[in-house]
Chains A and B, each alone.
Chain A
Amino acid sequence: MLARAINFFTSLRLTVVCLCLAILLVFGGTLAQVHLGLYAVQSQFFRSFLIYWTPEGTHWRIPVFPGGWLIGLVLMTNLVAAHIKRFRFERRKAGILLVHAGLILLLGGQFVTEMFQVESDMRIEVGGTKNYSEASRRNELAVIDVTDPDKDRVVVFPEKLLARGAELRTPELPFALRVENYFPNSTPAGPMSGEAEKLKAGAGLGQRLFFSPAPTTSRMDEENRPAALVQAVSDRGPIGDWVVSTWLTRWPWFEGLQDELGSLMPGVSITAPQSFTFNGRTYEIALRAERYYKPYSMTLLAFNHDVYPGTDIPKDFSSRIHLSDPGAGENRDIRIYMNNPLRYRGETFFQASFEPGDRGTILQVVRNPASLAPYIACLIIALGLLVQFLTHLAGFARKRARSAESAGRDPSAPPLEPLLAGDAKAKRSPL
């Protein structure tokens, strides 16, 4: 039994089958992007163990094909097992060994990346300063004690804790937060709209601006904009309730909404913090993008968007940034531009996008513990392939030289000429 398992997991046949399945998976995953979008394909095809099919009109999940994780796992097992079983160092196979070692590193590195990579965005307006980046999809409910003019005290709850009826408590706050209602995706609604379900608050902006639920989306180019009605409750009873939503905090949604509301509710700023006072301290409450605070700050000195003369083809995007890190004694100007990211304190800052009218820059911030793995793997694999290729070429040249010698000829003479002679003979055969 064990022997059969070993045979199965070390067989070349398994390698070939897995590689063929991988080809089908990648091909299918590429075509599926046309309809599903990249984000959904990534999670359904590549970051999954099985691909499910849901027949129209049902809720069944029928597994139809192995997903990326499963194929990768079996291939990796196969690769490692085969090498353990057959490992015997030969100079002839040094290249192959290197290639496979590099492959293990590459796949392992990608696995670590998929598991532990953190991506966020840093949006800075020209002249503005930021000391945090924001998650592009994850949100948090933040309660900020702003009483002390020098220092804010921030308490955050991840969005996944928000659910209708949930009660959020922490010793950091002298009150609890009760989630009275929560929509994973929402649209703004005025008092006059006929929506059946609406979030209305007794305090803050939510008295005038309502939100109704919307179907959630998983497309790459769309994002969910949750909204919740949250009540602050102390031991003595309710303090008040507020509507919070990323519609009010995430760029560019708040800009669009502000433009739309400008004429309907003149003088109302939707980005103004919603605050309340309790026991002599002032708090602000907001549902916002999850933030990653840094021990340093960045100021956008200038943003450049160059085009080729007489066209609107972009030539370059670049941000001139002032980096100020008192802890590390760093205080310098940096230019971040296309293909030239900034690497600082384990994070990489890329020029990703910009605000319309070049008003500000958007940097993508990536923290990836395995960011070096592909670089090293690439070197090892390239070296291995080169060694292997040269070994083969040398062997081929030797063989040619030998066969030429045995034929008593100059090595540069055509060794394969007889094949055509043989050809002619075949023609003459009495068939």
Chain B
Amino acid sequence: MKKWLPWIAVALFGAWFLSGAVAPKPKEGFDLAGFGRLPVLLDGRIQPFDSVARNSLLSMSGRSIVRLTNGPPLSALEWLMDTLARPETADQLKVFRIQHPDLEGLMGAQNAGLEYYSFNQLTNQLESIQNQVQKLVKSEQGQGEEAAKLRNAYQKDLMHLYESLFLYNRLKNSLEPDDSVNFQDELRLFQAALAPGRAALEESDQGKSANQDDLQRIVTFFKRYDELSRLAYPMIIPPLPGQPRQAWSNIGTNLLQALHSGELHPADTFYAAMSSSYRNNQPAEFNNAVAQYRAWAQGNGLAPALQKGSREFFFNQIEPFYKSMVIYIAALLLGCVFWINLSEPLRRAGLALLILAFVIHSIGLGFRMYLEGRPPVTNLYSSAIFIGWGACLLGIILERVFKGGVGLVVAGFIGFTTLIIAHHLALSGDTMEMLRAVLDTNLWLATHVVVVTTGYASMFVAGLLAVIYIVRGFFTRTLAPGLARSLSRMVYGIVCFATLFSFVGTILGGIWADQSWGRFWGWDPKENGALLIVLWNAVILHARWGGMIKERGLMAMAVFGNIITSFSWFGVNMLGIGLHSYGFMDKAFPWLVGFDVSQLALIGLAILPARYWASFKAAPSAGPPSGPVLPDTSALAG
């Protein structure tokens, strides 16, 4: 049993991961997966409906599923399908998240404290929300982008709710007008009205008397689709053969074009069939329309787009980052248990899980690169993923070399934490967004960004090793001289490694800046952040070479490295200035402060004299024990 423990653990978690690769079963006979794979153009890139569903739902509710009071939760795709084609069902789903108590108070007494609201629960408040937003926007006039950063928590939540409602309304009008009963029939009427209507329009243009009925009808359609074209969100209608590859349009725009050309786009008919059959609960017709559209698209030059949609759908399904996150926790727990009972099979099982998580993490990272056609780090989100990946790789190497569970705990902890951070960064929208002009260069993304991010990862590994040293040394007697020595060698080695990467990465960044902005160094906040890491590493190394610090000093300084790295990675973005501030996030600010304070507390422990350390007090070499006095931690807690 003990010998097989690693294999059993890997088999269990591996099977769980692979279960995600199986396509979801049709729900009530509807081939939703087939629909979810269909490509659309949104945010400048081809993506499947499934990604539209996940990103929209995440940004509205902070979740990727919709919880129901009765029955299993709805997937993002099921929710989107209802929103697109059965809006009256979707209106009852609780997808609007309200966090601020004052804003909740606005919803009326019987609805207070729900946190999640359905559209129907908000309908009475729409006007007052609108009024408040108007007032807010008016008061911010002339302040430019600065204004959004100065909003208080209430105002931010209000704007988030307003934007969510706006997005929801657009989604409801993305496949058909949200008030349509049978869109397929409507399009038939539209088609029938097209030819006489166009003739009537032409006649009235030339000043002749036109058939007023025909004219009236076509003008009604025009108004209807003109409004639809302004609401519809993703561009679902692909270009026809011969049109430019990028010429996608939304349903409304496309129907307006039909007024000019006199013909409906084939995709209009297929999508109308899908929405009508879904609304009228006809699974066979729905599946048929999906299959027919696929076949049509395949034969009309859209094979690459279909392929892209299917691949990204698969990537969404297997959820590699979520699953590796869970496995990292399992590895971390096994590492911690091993420290208590020193059971070697547990450690080996932990290492096996760590490697499994790393493999899944790598699959996710590689798949993302493949989907985007980019190096691994393109934005803050992917930097978190990459830092976790790099730290995990280092942790595995450490564990293979030093055994002892330290690498296990480090890799499990950083892997888990960075993926949690990535999850929260994903709430702000599409994580595979297109890159602004200056970033649109794979050469520099692959070199500077990857090298600098590897530097961040190794800084965090060194910092966490030092935390382990301090916590085990101060609070427990388990930091034997041998372990202390090997931890200090690990920290020193990784600080050297981090110096190498931070330094080279920073200089490569300078060279990129020289290539694109015309100066090597401009004291921009992000540049300064990278420089701070390099300088701090130089301080650590020189202080150690000069004998100014010993083991505990090295640990204290490595922990301070965590603060500097987190400032460089996140803090400078919060300043909201400079050429590099591509993403501003203020929700993370309290977390960052909390993290820094905790690190400062650890540094405080580290610089306490050795006689307060549980491990050193216990060690025979530390001289005769001064008595059974427990370390006075109460003074530190304050």
Contact = CB atoms under 8 A, between A and B. Distances in A.
A117 B434 CA distance: 34
A89 interface: no
Interface stretch (B127-135, B497-505, B595-603): B497-505
A138 B525 CA distance: 26
B71 to A, nearest CB: 37
B504 A311 contact: no
Question: Which secondary structure dominates where chain A touches chain B?
Answer: helix
Contacts of A386: 500
B335 to A, nearest CB: 13
B434 A339 contact: no
Interface stretch (A15-23, A161-169, A255-263, A279-287): A15-23
Contacts of A236: none
B575 interface: yes
A12 B437 contact: no
Contact of B535 (A26, A313, A381): A26
B337 to A, nearest CB: 14
25 contacts: A12-B543, A16-B543, A19-B535, A27-B528, A30-B572, A38-B522, A110-B521, A117-B519, A310-B42, A313-B44, A313-B433, A313-B434, A316-B440, A338-B437, A339-B438, A339-B440, A339-B516, A341-B515, A364-B518, A389-B497, A392-B496, A419-B485, A420-B480, A423-B482, A429-B618
Interface string B470-498: 00000001101111011001000100110
Contacts of A316: 437, 440
B620 interface: yes
A419 B403 CA distance: 10
A426 B619 contact: yes
Interface stretch (B110-118, B259-267, B506-514): B506-514
Contact of B507 (A352, A378, A396): A378
Interface of B: 41-45, 235, 246-248, 342, 402-404, 433-434, 436-438, 440-441, 444, 477-478, 480-483, 485-486, 489, 493, 496-497, 499-500, 503-504, 507-508, 510-512, 514-525, 528-529, 531-532, 535-536, 538-539, 542-543, 545-546, 548, 564, 567, 572, 575-578, 618-620, 625
B577 A311 contact: no
Given A38-B524, A378-B504, A388-B496, A427 B437 contact: no
B578 A309 contact: no
Given A313-B434, A392-B493, A420 B525 contact: no
B248 A310 contact: yes
A348 B518 contact: yes
A385 B504 contact: yes
Contacts of B477: 426-427
Interface in A302-327: 307-311, 313-317
A158 B538 CA distance: 44
Interface of A: 11-13, 15-16, 19-20, 22-23, 26-27, 29-31, 33-34, 38, 41-42, 45-46, 106, 110, 113, 117, 119, 307-311, 313-317, 338-341, 348, 350, 352, 364, 366, 371, 374-375, 377-378, 381-382, 385-386, 388-389, 392, 396, 414, 416-420, 422-424, 426-427, 429, 431
A386 B523 CA distance: 27
B274 to A, nearest CB: 22
B44 A311 contact: yes
Nearest to B615: A426
Given A310-B41, A426-B619, A381 B503 contact: yes
Contacts of A377: 507
A278 B320 CA distance: 81
Nearest to A318: B437
Contact of A423 (B402, B478, B500, B575): B478
Contacts of A314: 436-437
A307 to B, nearest CB: 8
Nearest to A389: B500
Contacts of A389: 496-497, 500
Most B CB contacts (10 A, CB to CB) among A23, A30, A366 go to: A30
A375 to B, nearest CB: 6
Nearest to A20: B539
Contacts of B246: 309
